[in-house]
Amino acid sequence: MTTKVTTMNVYLEPADTRRLVSLCGPFDDNIKQLERRLGVEIVHKDNHFTIVGLPRNALNANNLLRQLYIETQTVKGSTPDLEPEVIHLAIQEAINLEAQQDNNDTSIHIKTKRGVIKPRTPNQSVYMHNITRHDISFGIGPAGTGKTYLAVAAAVDAYERQEVRRILLTRPAVEAGEKLGFLPGDLSQKVDPYLRPLYDALFEMMGFEKVEKLIERGVIEVAPLAYMRGRTLNDAFIILDEAQNTTVEQMKMFLTRIGFNSRAVITGDITQIDLPRSQKSGLRHAIEVLSEVSEISFNFFVAQDVVRHPVVARIVEAYEAFEQQEQIEKAAKDQAYREREQKRQLLEKEATPQ
């Protein structure tokens, strides 16, 4: 069986040496990344690019080259360099575009101070839709899949649309295997190190000064999970981050705080639980207990949803494969142990005089 290969010629106009240098990157690193990720070969001379590969891959490369060339447009007299992150995200979006179209995806786009935020994988699209349609949404998956970032984007969008009156950010203050000791300062300063990813996302989307003013007015509130007890949260968008480190009691307490006209998003990675071995994760327990509640959505991300450096996806896949192999080996050992025990009991029974 022969594989059909196509050749595409692309001319990037207008021809501009500085923009072409920015597009290709140092030592053609950007072009090499496109070739490696899309499975094509790209040869270029000046503004003429020749793409060789499978029809779908070649078309994706064609579209990406044109899209990335637009990104190099001169801003205030200078040509911006294309960062590796920009290349990676553009490739990730292109790879998943067809799957989104197959699912009749109508992605939610959120306009922020920095620009437009949009889902880049089918799972992210479903996640964003579920956040808008459900009072409580869970985002569960490995690091780098956009769970927290998209939740913050949805919170900012809901506030700016005046759908909610405040944003509440919380997480359990559990250290990831390290003892930080007593942190100085007031409550906000003590909690800041734990909630830094949420702060960073807010600053990026709304700007530092606006976020600081909203925090001063109490519109944006940051608090450890322990301080949620006894409260009823109305007209709020609540984000519980790192939920894998909640206990069963904490998760139940948090979910019962939600009041009228409020939405909650709970994010976590059940493969990175930092609780003592004797305690069960509230996130794991919630998946088991609440999976049949129609008002609650559960969204599961996989390695293919990772939008950080490409190696992160491979790291996640490697850990998943290792853990799966461990489970297989453990099951085999357990089965062998049961068989030995059954044989031993049978021999003892035969040896016992009647």
Contact 30, 24 (CB under 8 A): yes
- The 10s digit of each residue's pLDDT in 118-128 is 787 888 888 98
State yes or no: pLDDT of 1 exceeds 50: no
Helix, strand, or coil (residue 301): coil
Mean pLDDT lowest among 16-30, 60-74, 173-187, 292-306: 173-187
pLDDT of residue 2: 45
- Any residues with CB less than 8 A from the CB of 290 and at least 6 apart, and which? 296, 298
pLDDT above 60: residue 104: no
| Whether pLDDT at 177 is above 70 | no
Chain-wide mean pLDDT for the chain? 81
> Which range (148-157, 183-192, 236-245, 333-342) has the least confidence?
183-192
Q: How many CB atoms lie within 10 A of CB 179?
A: 5
Contact assessment for residue 228 and residue 222, using Cβ atoms and an 8 Å cutoff? no
Residues 6+ apart with CB under 8 A from 38: 53, 57, 60, 61, 64, 91, 94, 95
* Listed residue (204, 278, 292) closest to 247, CA to CA: 278
Per-residue pLDDT tens digits for 332-351: 888 888 888 888 888 777 77
pLDDT in the model for residue 119: 82
**pLDDT number for residue 253:** 92
Top pLDDT among 33 and 179 is at 33
Confidence of residue 307 (pLDDT cuts 50, 70, 90): low
pLDDT of residue 189: 61
Lowest mean pLDDT of 98-107, 195-204, 329-338, name the range.
98-107
